Chains A and B, each alone.
Chain A
Amino acid sequence: MKEPIIEFKDFTFQYFSQAEPTLHHIDLTIYKGEKVLIVGPSGSGKSTLGHCINGLIPFSYRGEITGSVTVGGLDTKEAGIFALSRKVGTVLQDSDGQFVGLSVGEDIAFSLENDCVPQAEMKKTVREVADLMDMGQLLKSSPYELSGGQKQRVAFAGVMVNQVETLLFDEPLANLDPATGKVAIDLIDRIAREYHKTVVIIEHRLEDVLYRRVDRVIVMSDGRVAADMTPDELMAAGILPRLGIREPLYVTALKYAGIPITPELHAGRLETLELDAVREPLLRWHQSRQPRKSAPEKPPILTVKDLNFQYDRKRKILKDVSFAIREGEMVSIVGTNGAGKSTLAKVICGFVKESSGDIFFREESLRGSTIKERSLRIGYVMQNPNQMICKSMIYDEVAMGLRNRGVDEDTVREKVEKALKICGLAPFKKWPVSALSFGQKKRVTIASILVMEPQILILDEPTAGQDYLHYTEIMEFLKSLNDQGVTILMITHDMHLMLEYTPHAIVISDGRKIGDSTAVDILTNPEIAARASLKLTSLYELASMAGIPEPGTFVQNFIDYEREVVRREG
C-alpha cells in the first residue's frame, strides 16, 4: 500500500495582499518515494503550492487558508516552518542568493549549526554529504569561485544533511546552462533512487526535466490542478499548448508529421518512445519538405577583430575573438556561464576597455569612443529589469535617456510615444512602473533603450525566468523589431530560443569563439555542443534515433515549418 506523504485536502489559499485566491480547492496526494513534477505557466500557482509544502506559507507569507495540507503527518498550519524543515528540504531557484555561508563547508553546515550539532559531528556530516555531491574538494571555496551548477550542488547538500525524506526543488533549471541543467536532473534522479527520497520538482521547462524518469506530472493552471497523470498520458492528452506550457519539441515534431500521440507511444521521454511506430511517418514528412532559400546577405554592421580582454594579468577573459554581424541580423551568443559572453557585450558597449583588438561599426573603428558615444548606436538591455529602472513613472523612465542628452521636450514626447507604441505599452503611458508585471517591466527597459534609436540592440538573457507564453510574447516582439530593421544580439542559454529565432549563432567557450554558423548547424554539432555545454536539441536526437539521414536538415525543416505554417495560422 502506498503511503501518502504530502496531502492537500480541499485547500484554498489567498494572500492577504491579493483580491483573489491563488490556489483553489486543491486535492492532491504525493506518495512516499514518488518523483513528481509540477508544471504550469507563471501565475498558475505552482510556486505558491511549493511554499505550502515547505511551510513558507503560512510562516513567511500570510494569507487566508481553508482546507488543510499535511506533510509527513504534520499539519502545516500548526507545525511551523522549523518542524517542517526536518521533513522537507527545499532547494531554491536562486542558488547564489541562498548561499548564506562564506565557504562551501559553512553553507552546507548551516542547518546543522541551527540545530546546535556539536562541531566535530557537524564537520564529519558535512564532509560525507559534500563527497556525495562531488564537492568534497571545494569545502573551503568561497561562493565567488563556484559556477552556478556547483552552487546548486551546495544548496542540495545543505538540505541533504538534514536527512529529510522529501526534497523540493523550486525551478532548479532556471539559472543553469543546458548541459549543467542536464547534470542537475541526473543528480536529482540518482539521489532520489539511491536514498529513496520523495522528490517534488517545480519547473516550467518540462522537456528538460523529463529527460529522466518522472512518475507523475501535475499541471497547474489558474490556481487549480488541470492535470495529474503520467508523462506518457500527458503527452497523449495534448493539453499543454492550450495551458501555455511548451510540450517537448520531439512531441511537436511527431504531431507535425501527423502521428497521433497515444499513451502506448510512451512519448513521455524520448528514450522510451516507440520508434518503430513513428519512423515511417516522420521520414515521409521530412521528405515532403522543401528547404527554404536563404535571403541575400547584407553588409556587416558590427565587426569584431582579434578582440582580447583581461581584468588583471592572470586571467584572459576573451581571447582573439573575431566575428561579423550583418545588418538586420538576429544573432545569439551562447556558451556556459563564465565563458565570457557578458564580458563580450560589455566590451562592445564600451563599459570596459579591450586589451587589444578592434571593434567596427560599419566601417568605422569604435576604438577610443566612450560609453555615451557608443550608446547612440548600440543599446544594451540588462537581464534584470529591476537593475535598470530608476524612475517611478513609465513615461519618465523611457524619456530618461533622451532628457539626459538634452533633447527638447516636444521631441522627447514624440519619441517616447513612438517607443511605447512599438513595445505595446501605449495604454500604460501614465502608469507607475510598480503596477507592471515582470515581462512588462522588461518591455519598459527595452523601450527606454529603443527610444534612443540604436541600430544594434544587445540583450542579456531576454527570456530568463519567463514561461512559454511570456517567452513567446517577448521573442515575437523582438522579432517584429528585427523586421523593422534593428539588428539584434542576444546572450542566451536557451537552446529553443536560439533555434527558433536566431538564424545565426556565435558560440563562446572559455573566452574563445568556437562556433559561428547557423543555429541549426551549431545545435546539431555534437563536438561544439559538448565543448560549450550546449544541449543537442531533442529534434536532432529524434531524427538520429529514427534513422533519418541528415538529421540537421530535419531540424531546419521543423523550424521552417513552424515559422511558415503554424505561426501564421496562429
Chain B
Amino acid sequence: MKDKIFDYVERDNWVFKLSGLTKLLCFLILSASVMFTYDIRSILLIMVLSFTVLRLSGITFSQIKVMLWAVVIFLGMNFVLTYLFNPTYGVEIYGTCHELFRFSSRYTVTQEQLLYQISKFAKYASVIPLGMLFLLTTNPSEFAASLNGVRVSYKAAFALALTLRYFPDTIRNYNDIAVAQQSRGLDLSKKEKLGTRIKNVMNICIPLIFSTLDRVDVVSNAMDLRGFGKHKKRTWYAATPMGRNDYICIGVCAAILAAVLIVTAFVNHGRFWNPFI
C-alpha cells in the first residue's frame, strides 16, 4: 500500500522536466504576487494560469482527490467564518455600501463584502494548485540537487530527500502497529473519549519511535560505509541543469510579479481594486 498523498509518479512532459529549483522559485514568486494583491483581476489571471499548468502536467484527479477535498472544506469553512466574524469588513475597506439583502441587523450582505471574500477565496484557490504542482511534479532527489546548486549545504538538502524516501515506510509501519495494538483492545475509534484516544495513539507512537530508531542506525551506517560526508562537495545523479524552459518560466513569473506591483502602484493606488467608486 503506497501513501498516495506523497507519491511521486514520474511523467514525461515539460512540467516534470523543469528543475526543482525553478518550480520552487515560480511557486514562491506567484504565491507572493497573489498574496500581495487583492485585485481580483490579477488573482483570476494567476488562477487560470495555475490550473492550466496543473492540467498540462498530466497529474490525474485521483492523485489529488484527497488533498482537494481537504482544501475545499477548509476554504468553505474559511469563507463562512470570515463572514460570521466580520460581515462588514468589505464596507470598511472599500468605503462604500451597496447592500444586496440582510439576514439580520448585524448580518447584511453587501457587494463590497462579497467582492472581498471572493477575492480572498480566489487567492487561496490559485495558490493551492501551485503547491500541489510543486509537490507532485518535483523529484525529491532532483530538488535536493538543485537546492545544493544554490549553496544550501548538501547534508541538509540530502536530509530532505531522505525524509521523503522513508516517509511512506513510517506511515506503513504506523498502520501495522496500529492494527496490532487494536487487536489488544486499544480503541482508536470515536467511541472512546478524546483523552483516552490520545493516550492510545501515544501507545502506538512508542513502538513506532523505537522501530524507527533501529532504522536510523542502519541508514546512517549504510551512508557512512558508502562515503557520505567524505568531501565538502558532492555530485548528484539526479541533477538536471537549468535549461531554456527554466529561464522562461522564471521570467514569466517574474513578469507577473512586476505586473502585479505596477498595477498596485499606478492603477489601483493600493492593494485593493475598488470598482465601487
Chain A residues in contact with chain B, CB under 8 A? Answer: 54-56, 59-60, 81-82, 85, 90, 92, 94, 96-103, 105-106, 109-119, 122-123, 126, 140, 143-144, 158-159, 311, 346, 349-351, 371-372, 374-375, 379-380, 382, 384, 386-390, 400-401, 404-405, 448-449, 452
Contact = CB atoms under 8 A, between A and B. Distances in A.
A390 B227 contact: no
Interface stretch (B34-42, B69-77, B105-113, B236-244): B236-244
Given A116-B231, A351-B180, 14 more contacts: A81-B225, A98-B221, A100-B162, A102-B141, A102-B165, A105-B237, A114-B227, A114-B234, A115-B231, A349-B179, A372-B185, A386-B207, A390-B203, A449-B184
B177 interface: yes
B226 A110 contact: yes
B183 A389 contact: no
B204 interface: yes
A113 B180 contact: no
Q: Which of A159, A384, A449 has the most CB of B within 10 A?
A: A384
A372 B183 contact: yes
Contact of B206 (A56, A140, A390): A390
21 contacts: A55-B225, A60-B224, A81-B225, A98-B221, A98-B222, A102-B140, A106-B237, A110-B228, A111-B226, A114-B230, A115-B227, A115-B234, A118-B235, A119-B237, A350-B183, A371-B179, A375-B182, A384-B211, A388-B181, A388-B207, A449-B184
A115 B230 contact: yes
Chain B interface mostly: helix
Interface stretch (B24-32, B79-87, B129-137, B212-220): B212-220
Contacts of A372: 182-183, 185, 187
B230 A82 contact: yes
Interface in B239-271: 239
Contact of B227 (A111, A380, A384, A389): A111
A390 B182 contact: no
B237 A401 contact: no
Interface string B20-62: 0000000000000000000000000000000000000000000
Contacts of B149: none
Contacts of A109: 237
A140 B186 CA distance: 41
B177 A375 contact: no
A122 B235 contact: yes
B8 to A, nearest CB: 8
Contact of A404 (B168, B176, B186, B207): B186
Nearest to A140: B10
B277 interface: no
A386 B220 CA distance: 19
A389 B207 contact: yes
B3 to A, nearest CB: 10
Contact of A114 (B1, B206, B211, B229): B229
Contacts of A101: 141, 165, 237
B173 interface: yes
B185 A375 contact: yes
Contacts of B223: 100, 110
A401 B185 contact: yes
A159 B222 CA distance: 11
Interface size, B (range)? 35 or more
Nearest to A350: B183
B2 interface: yes
A386 B210 CA distance: 6
Given A372-B187, A390-B181, A449-B184, A97 B215 contact: yes
A94 to B, nearest CB: 5
A54 B225 contact: yes
A115 B168 CA distance: 29
Contact of A94 (B10, B210, B218, B239): B218
A82 B227 contact: yes
A387 B221 contact: no
B117 interface: no
B146 interface: no
A387 B184 contact: no
B161 interface: yes
A122 B238 CA distance: 11
A388 B238 CA distance: 38
Nearest to A406: B185
Contacts of B236: 113, 119
Contacts of A143: 165
A97 B234 contact: no
Counting from the closest, the 8 A-B pairs by CB-CB distance are A404-B185, A98-B222, A97-B218, A109-B237, A351-B179, A111-B226, A114-B227, A375-B183
Contacts of B8: 102
Contacts of A60: 220-221, 224
Nearest to A121: B235
Contacts of A375: 182-185
Given A114-B231, A388-B180, A102 B185 contact: no
A123 B230 contact: no
B210 to A, nearest CB: 5
A122 B237 contact: yes
A102 B158 CA distance: 11
- Most chain A CB within a 10 A radius of its CB, from B162, B223, B225, B229: B225
B114 interface: no
B184 to A, nearest CB: 4
Contacts of B169: 96
